[in-house]
C-alpha cells in the first residue's frame, strides 16, 4: 500500500493512504482544493506568539498556515511528474501537493502536529494521494 512517510524528531510515521491511490488527481484539482479548503497545518502557542512579536510580527495563539502562496504551489505543480520520488522539510500545503502528484513522497518535520494534520487532510478530505 502506498504511503507518505513523515519523519518527526526521532519518530517515523507512515500514513497508509486510502484505496483510491490509483486514481491520480489532476494538478489543477489539487490546487483548487487547497485554495478552497485553506487547511491550517501549523500552530502558534503563546511562546511562539511572543517570539514572533519580538521580530515585529503580530500573530495570535491558534492554528495558522505558514504555507507558500498559490503561485508558488502552481510553479511546483508544473514541475512535478508521476514518476518522481520527492523529499521536503516541513509539512503542509506542499506535502499535500507532492503526495497527490508524485510516485512517492517523504517529508521531514519536527512537529508531530504537522504530521498528524497532513495525514488527516490526505486521508479524510477527498484528496487522492498517489504515494
Q: How confident is the model at residue 22 (pLDDT cuts 50, 70, 90)?
A: very low
Instruction: Decide if 128 contacts 21 (C-beta within 8 A).
Output: yes
Could you give the CA distance from residue 84 to residue 103 in angstroms, rounded to a whole number? 5
Q: How confident is the model at residue 109 (pLDDT cuts 50, 70, 90)?
A: confident
pLDDT in tens, 41-71: 999 999 999 999 999 999 999 999 999 999 9
Could you give the CA distance from residue 91 to residue 117 in angstroms, rounded to a whole number? 9
- 67: CB partners within 8 A, 6+ apart: 41, 73, 92, 93, 94
pTM metric for this prediction: 0.77
- Between 128 and 31, name the one with better pLDDT: 31
Q: Which long-range contacts (CB under 8 A, 24 or more apart) does 81-90 make?
A: 82/24, 82/130, 90/114
Ranges of each domain in the chain = 3-37+66-124
Amino acid at each position: 500500500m502506498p504511503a507518505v512517510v513523515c519523519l518527526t524528531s526521532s519518530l517515523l510515521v507512515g500514513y497508509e493512504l486510502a484505496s483510491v491511490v490509483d486514481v491520480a488527481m489532476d494538478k489543477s484539482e489539487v490546487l483548487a482544493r487547497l485554495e478552497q479548503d485553506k487547511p491550517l497545518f501549523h500552530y502558534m502557542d503563546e511562546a511562539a506568539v511572543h517570539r514572533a512579536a519580538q521580530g515585529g510580527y503580530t500573530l495570535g495563539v491558534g492554528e495558522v498556515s505558514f504555507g507558500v502562496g498559490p503561485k508558488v504551489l502552481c510553479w511546483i505543480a508544473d514541475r512535478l511528474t508521476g514518476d518522481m520520488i520527492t523529499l521536503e522539510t516541513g509539512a503542509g500545503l506542499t506535502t499535500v501537493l507532492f503526495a497527490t502528484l508524485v510516485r512517492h513522497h517523504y517529508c521531514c518535520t519536527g512537529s508531530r502536529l504537522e504530521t498528524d494534520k497532513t495525514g488527516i487532510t490526505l486521508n479524510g478530505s477527498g484528496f487522492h494521494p498517489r504515494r
